[in-house]
A and B are shown apart, each in its own frame.
Chain A
Amino acid sequence: MKFHTRFALFCTLAAGLMAAAPARAADTYKIDPVHATAIFRISHLGSSFVYGRFDDVGGTFTADDQSPANVKFDVSIKADSVDTNSAARDKHLKSADFFSVNEFPTLTFKSTDVKSSGDKKYDVTGDLTIHGVTKSVVAKVEFVGTADGSAMKMGFRAGYEAHLTIKRTDFGMDKMVGGVGDEVQLTVSMEGVRQ
């Protein structure tokens, strides 16, 4: 085989390998709101759990499969996108009695420290701000995977899923505690497009 043929074959093989390559070190991704979901679970009268979601999730994250210390999250959620499948309840949640969305329009999470806790699993410490109150929390985060959607003009993508439990009274939201639980379980699943 002539040299230029072998070289062309090598380049083709390398390109094919790169298409399936994992995320490069310390790449920044912009969260795709269409493929990001934030849901929460809270107890009602101690007899069941009510689930709700926030429909507007945005922000950025930095993925680095070589060094967890470089992983970062800067997530923001629009408070007035809360949806619990009840117009009356959603209005009350958006009012001054709960989220007061006109005054505190966004919920934010900014990571400050990341530690590996297993294969593709992390304990992410960060500042969570809800209702104007900022608390340091630890979220259990799992790296889900990557995909190269370039052929479909979707860009290179990576995704994480985060889980954490908070007490809403820690954030100044203490209406109807007793009837509606204090502990809230949050799950945020996010897919980002590499920038």
Chain B
Amino acid sequence: MLTSSDLIFGVILPFALATVILAIAWRPWKRSRGTPGLWGGPVACGVAFAAAFALLQGPRHLFPPNSAIMWLFFVAIGFTLLGLIDALVLLPRTLGAILVFAAAAGGAGLLLKFNFINQNWDALHGVLWLGAIAAMTAFWWASFEQSAVGGSMTAPLAMAATGGISALIIAVLVEQTTGQALGAMTIALGVAVVLMAWSGKATVARGTGIVVAGIGVSALAAAYFISSLPLQYVLLLAFTPAALWVGRVPAISRLRPWLRSVVQIALLLIPLVVAAVLAVLQARRDATMGSDPYV
């Protein structure tokens, strides 16, 4: 059941926030004059997610967090700050990778510490799982970041597709609220695509990839460990950004930029669409009547 609050906090507010933030950062109407602020992308995406998540969950449960999923808000804030730092100071790539890995491991530790408390994990399994989540986050970041070079539209489209389909799958199968918040981040990326096209100079390189990777992988980890999202969806979504590396294959890299982008996005969409179709079919099978289990 979607309510007016879902529409306002999950769609309208994120759209408004992202539009204002990106307009201030990029000033797309100036086109040939000035340099678009790199900080716009990470701030717009992070704020859109955090605001939607906090308002949909209810702020009173955030301070202090009354359950594991509430830590996702703080994880999002952390990655937004890291993305902002990268956008402002242009971190060296190696340092950036280390910081993304460390932030992801720390965030996952906060999000999933109940596994230690409930003794689901011993120390070894805990380290392995946190390490895997951190490595996946760094992989997503590197994939998005390398495809954002030169102001290419590949990166924002890839991030929007990955985030949007992840949002859909999580919302229909397990956690409506987290899915809606991821959808809010996707809306911010959609605004970024439009304003990038208008600006002609704006880019989501430096920072936005950190935010999308950090929030996206953390949300997937939460959906799997907290709400038991089936593993096949996690695997399909987790390795999807690998398709972006095809742009480095010599035969593909020699293509015209727009065609190279089409190939990358098409390969990215294949597993995403498969996962989305499977999820929708699963949700329909589970529902007793129609697509709304509460009818």
Interface residues of A (CB under 8 A from B): 44, 85-89, 91-92, 94-97, 100, 102-105, 131-133, 172, 174-176, 178-180
Q: Say whether A172 contacts B69, CB under 8 Å.
A: no
Extra contacts besides A88-B293, A174-B61, A175-B177 (7): CB < 8 Å: A87-B285, A89-B288, A96-B226, A100-B67, A103-B118, A172-B66, A176-B294
Closest to B178 in A: A96
Q: Say whether B287 contacts A88, CB under 8 Å.
A: yes
Q: Say whether A103 contacts B226, CB under 8 Å.
A: yes
Q: Say whether B174 contacts A92, CB under 8 Å.
A: yes
Q: Say whether A103 contacts B114, CB under 8 Å.
A: yes
Chain B 269-287 residues near chain A, CB threshold 8 A = 283, 285-287
User: Inside 8 A of A105's CB, which chain B residues have their CB?
Assistant: 118
User: Inside 8 A of B287's CB, which chain A residues have their CB?
Assistant: 86-88
Q: Say whether B286 contacts A88, CB under 8 Å.
A: yes
Q: Say whether B69 contacts A100, CB under 8 Å.
A: yes
User: Inside 8 A of B226's CB, which chain A residues have their CB?
Assistant: 95-96, 100, 102-103
User: Inside 8 A of B35's CB, which chain A residues have their CB?
Assistant: none
User: Inside 8 A of B58's CB, which chain A residues have their CB?
Assistant: 174
B173 on interface, CB distance cutoff 8 Å: yes
Contact among B176, B228, B283 with A102 in the assembled complex (CB-CB below 8 Å): B228
> Interface residue count for B (Cβ, 8 Å)?
29
21 contacts between A and B (CB under 8 A): A87-B285, A87-B286, A88-B287, A88-B288, A89-B294, A91-B286, A94-B228, A95-B227, A95-B228, A96-B175, A96-B226, A96-B227, A100-B227, A102-B226, A102-B228, A131-B67, A133-B66, A172-B66, A174-B61, A175-B177, A179-B3
B124 on interface, CB distance cutoff 8 Å: no
Cα–Cα, bound, A103→B228 (Å): 11
B127 on interface, CB distance cutoff 8 Å: no
A-B contact count (CB 8 A): 83
Closest to A180 in B: B294
B68 on interface, CB distance cutoff 8 Å: yes
Cα–Cα, bound, A174→B226 (Å): 18
Q: Say whether A103 contacts B67, CB under 8 Å.
A: yes
Can you list the 7 inter-chain pairs with the closest CB atoms, starting with the nearest? Answer: A88-B293, A95-B227, A88-B286, A96-B69, A87-B286, A89-B293, A103-B114
Interface of A, secondary structure class, is loop
For A88, A133, A174, the residue with the greatest tally of chain B CB atoms inside 10 Å of its CB is A88
Interface residues of B (CB under 8 A from A): 1, 3, 58, 61, 66-69, 114, 118, 120, 173-178, 222, 225-228, 283, 285-288, 293-294
Q: Say whether A92 contacts B177, CB under 8 Å.
A: no
Closest to A84 in B: B293
For A89, A95, A104, the residue with the greatest tally of chain B CB atoms inside 10 Å of its CB is A95
Cα–Cα, bound, A91→B294 (Å): 12
Cα–Cα, bound, A95→B223 (Å): 8
User: Inside 8 A of A88's CB, which chain B residues have their CB?
Assistant: 283, 286-288, 293
User: Inside 8 A of A175's CB, which chain B residues have their CB?
Assistant: 176-177
Closest to A179 in B: B1
Q: Say whether A97 contacts B176, CB under 8 Å.
A: yes
Cα–Cα, bound, A176→B177 (Å): 11
User: Inside 8 A of A131's CB, which chain B residues have their CB?
Assistant: 66-67
User: Inside 8 A of A174's CB, which chain B residues have their CB?
Assistant: 58, 61
Cα–Cα, bound, A102→B112 (Å): 10
User: Inside 8 A of A103's CB, which chain B residues have their CB?
Assistant: 67-68, 114, 118, 226
Q: Say whether A96 contacts B293, CB under 8 Å.
A: no
Given that A86-B287, A100-B68, A102-B114 are known contacts, is A94 also in contact with B227, CB under 8 Å in the complex?
A: yes
User: Inside 8 A of A132's CB, which chain B residues have their CB?
Assistant: 66-67
Q: Say whether A176 contacts B1, CB under 8 Å.
A: yes
Q: Say whether A172 contacts B294, CB under 8 Å.
A: no
